[in-house]
Chains A and B, each alone.
Chain A
Amino acid sequence: MNKYNPPRMNPSSLRSRFATRFLRTLSKINAQKPTSSSSPTEIFRRYRRIKAAADKSMAYSVRSRRTWSRAMLWKLRTRPCGRRSVKTSTIIKSREARKTRHEKQNKNTTTTTTTTTGEDGVVFGVEADELRELVPGGEAMDLYNLLDETAHYIKCLTTQVQVMKKIADFYSP
C-alpha cells in the first residue's frame, strides 16, 4: 500500500461518521466469522448482516434528525434478529413516535390526497406513492416533506455507496 498523508477531513462530516461506524461494525462481523465461511449460504447471511450494518450505521450517523433515519432504525430494531437484543423501552418509544407519526399521517393524507390530486393532478399522486415506498418512513409525510427527505436520503445513499465502494476496493486483490 502506498503511504500517503490523507488530507485534512472534517471529522464530523456525514461521510467520516458513517465510515467509522461502518468499519467498526464490519470488524465486529469479521471477528465473528466462523472458519467455514465460504459456503454461499454463509456468505449470504453475512451479506445480510453487512447490509443491515450499513443501513444502521447510516441511520445512526444521521441520528434522529430525519424521519427516514428514525424509520429505518425502528425497522432495524424490530426486525426479528436472533442475536440482537431488542430493548423494550426503545421499542415503546419508537412505537409512540410512530403513533404520533400516524396521527400526523392521518391529517396529512387527507390534505395530501386533496392537494396532490386536486392541484398538481393525479400524476403526482402515483409517483409520490412510489417514492413513499422507497424512502423509509415516507408513508407519513406530505409531498413537500417527502421531497425534503428524499433529497437528504439521496445524499446519504451516495455517501454510503462511496464508502462501501472504497472498502470493497480495499478488500479486493
Chain B
Amino acid sequence: MLHRLESLKSCTYDRMDMTVLERQAARLKWQQQNHVVQNNNPAELCASSVPRFQGLVGSNLGSGQMVELKRLEVFLGTDNFQEFLNFPVTGPEFGDSEKLDLLPPEAAADYCISRTSSCQITALDTAVMKEEREDMSLEKMESTIVSGRGSFNKRKAETVADHKSKDKRIKGEGEGESEVKTKCSTEISRNSSKENSKVSEVQKPDYIHVRARRGQATDSHSLAERARREKLSKKMKCLQDLVPGCNKITGKAGMLDEIINYVQSLQRQVEFLSMKIAALNSSVENLPMKEFPAIVANFPAAAKLPEMAGLPCFQLNPLQKESVNCMLNESMHPPQTEGIASASVSISEQSLSSSSMTQLQPFSTWNMDPQGLYNMYNMGFH
C-alpha cells in the first residue's frame, strides 16, 4: 500500500520531470513485486486505492479545492503556460510528508479573474503534454485532481467503464478517456510524448465557458445562473438604448416599467394614426400613390423633428371628431396602465370638448415624434 501511495504522491504538477522518474521507479518496483499483467494492476491499484484517495480528496475539498479547480481552469484557457507553471499546485495531500508549495488561494484566484476558463480536462491534458511531456498516468492524475471528486476512477485506464463520474463536466471527457484508455493499456510504463500528443488533439466538446470569479461559488448551477444574469443585463442595456429616457433609470424593475409604458404608447400611437388616416381619407381624394413611396421613404430621422414642429394643426370637422371619439372609446376599453390611459383620455377629451379649431391645438401635439409624445406622457405623470 505504501508504495502505491508513493506513486500517487509523486504525481504532482510541479517539478514534473522528477516526479516522472520517481513514478516510473515506483511503478517498476511495484510491477516487479506483483508480477501481474500490467493491465490488471492499474485496475487493482485503482480499486483499492480509490477509496483512500477519495478520502484524501474529500478531506481536502473546500475552498482550497475550489481554488484548485479555478486555477486549472485558468491554466487551460491561456497560452501562458509558463505562468501557470511557475506557481505550484496544491495537489491533494496524499501523504502528509510531501510538502508542496502552496500559493495562497487569493493569488491563484487573481489569475482566474483575467483568464478564460475551460472545463475540459482533456484540454488540460493537451496543455500539459505540450509543455511538460508528461506521462499518461500523470495526466490522468492531474485530470482526476481537476475533476475532484470521483473522476479519479475514470482516469485510471481500464476502470473507466466501471466507475461513474460524479462531476457533470465529465461528459466531454468520456471521449478523451476512451482514447486515453486505449493508449494507457499499452504504454503504462512508457514515457512517449508523441503518443501522448495524439490524444491531445482529440476532442473539444463545446461547453459554455464561464468565468469563476474570486469569492464566488463554482458549482455549475451558480455558474449557469450567473451567465444567465449577465445575458439578461446585456439585453436590458440594449433595450435601454431603444427606449428614450431610460438612461437615468437604474434597476430592472424600473426599466421594465419604462419599456412597458413605451410599448403601450407606441401601440396607441399606431391606433391614433390609423384613425387619423381613416378620417383624412374620407375627406380627401385619393392622391397618386406613386409619389408616396418615394416621399414616405425619404425621411431621415433627423428631419422628423423640424417637420413636426412646423406641422399645421389639422382640422377636424365635427364628424371626424366624433369618429375620433369612437376610436378613443374603443382604445380605452382595454385599460392597460391606468395612469397613462387616464392621461391620454384627459388630453383627448380636452381636445375634443370644443368645436373650434384653435382648441385642436392639443391634437397637434399628438403629432409629435414618438419621443416627444412619450415625454408628454411622462410629464403628465410626474
**A and B found bound together:** yes
Q: Name A residues whose Cβ lies closer than 8 Å to a Cβ of B.
A: 1, 4, 6-7, 9, 15-16, 19-20, 23-24, 26-27, 29-31, 33, 37-44, 46-47, 49-51, 54-55, 115, 119-120, 123-124, 127-128, 130-131, 133-135, 143-144, 147-148, 150-151, 153-155, 157-158, 160-173
Q: Is B159 an interface residue (CB 8 A)?
A: no
Residues of A within 8 A of B322 (CB): 40
> Is the Cβ of B314 less than 8 Å from the Cβ of A173?
yes
Residues of A within 8 A of B289 (CB): 23-24, 26-27
> Is the Cβ of B292 less than 8 Å from the Cβ of A43?
no
Q: Is B55 an interface residue (CB 8 A)?
A: no
CA distance A30 to B287 in the complex (A): 10
CA distance A15 to B294 in the complex (A): 12
Known: A130-B336, A161-B270, A162-B370. 10 other contacts (CB 8 A): A6-B298, A7-B298, A23-B292, A24-B289, A46-B281, A51-B274, A147-B236, A150-B263, A151-B242, A167-B296
Residues of A within 8 A of B276 (CB): 168
Binds A, one of B96-104, B198-206, B208-216, B226-234: B226-234
> Is the Cβ of B327 less than 8 Å from the Cβ of A15?
no
Interface of B is mostly: helix
Tell me which of B232, B292, B297, B326 contacts A44 (CB under 8 A). Answer: B326
Residues of B within 8 A of A7 (CB): 298, 300
Tell me which of B266, B319, B327 contacts A158 (CB under 8 A). Answer: B266
Residues of A within 8 A of B259 (CB): 131, 150, 154
Q: Is B367 an interface residue (CB 8 A)?
A: yes
> Is the Cβ of B297 less than 8 Å from the Cβ of A26?
no
Q: Is B280 an interface residue (CB 8 A)?
A: yes
Tell me which of A19, A54, A161, A172 contacts B297 (CB under 8 A). Answer: A19
- Contact digits for B251-294, partner A, Cβ 8 Å, 1 yes 0 no: 01100110110111011011101111111111110110101111
Residues of A within 8 A of B239 (CB): 147, 150-151, 154
> Is the Cβ of B282 less than 8 Å from the Cβ of A46?
yes
Interface residues of B in 27-56 (CB under 8 A from A): none
Tell me how far the C-beta of A14 lies from the nearest C-beta in chain B, rounded to whole angstroms: 11
With A38-B283, A43-B320, A50-B274 known as contacts, the answer to whether A144 contacts B232 (CB < 8 A) is: yes
Which residue of chain B is the closest to A171 with respect to CB atoms?
B280
Residues of B within 8 A of A38 (CB): 282-283, 319
> Is the Cβ of A143 less than 8 Å from the Cβ of B232?
yes
Tell me which of B243, B287, B304 contacts A162 (CB under 8 A). Answer: B304
> Is the Cβ of B273 less than 8 Å from the Cβ of A127?
no
13 residue pairs A–B, Cβ–Cβ below 8 Å = A7-B298, A16-B293, A16-B297, A26-B281, A37-B281, A38-B282, A46-B282, A51-B275, A124-B256, A127-B256, A163-B296, A167-B277, A169-B311
Q: Total interface residues on B, using CB and 8 Å?
A: 68
> Is the Cβ of A154 less than 8 Å from the Cβ of B266?
yes
Interface of A is mostly: helix
> Is the Cβ of A172 less than 8 Å from the Cβ of B314?
yes
Q: Name B residues whose Cβ lies closer than 8 Å to a Cβ of A.
A: 225, 228-229, 231-232, 235-236, 238-239, 242-243, 252-253, 256-257, 259-260, 262-264, 266-267, 269-271, 273-284, 286-287, 289, 291-301, 304, 307, 311-312, 314-315, 319-320, 322-323, 326-327, 330, 336, 367, 369-370
CA distance A49 to B225 in the complex (A): 46
Residues of A within 8 A of B257 (CB): 127
CA distance A4 to B299 in the complex (A): 12
Tell me how far the C-beta of A129 lies from the nearest C-beta in chain B, rounded to whole angstroms: 10
> Is the Cβ of A169 less than 8 Å from the Cβ of B282?
no
> Is the Cβ of B286 less than 8 Å from the Cβ of A30?
yes
Interface pairs A-B: 8 shortest CB-CB: A6-B298, A47-B278, A127-B256, A43-B323, A51-B274, A164-B273, A157-B266, A171-B280
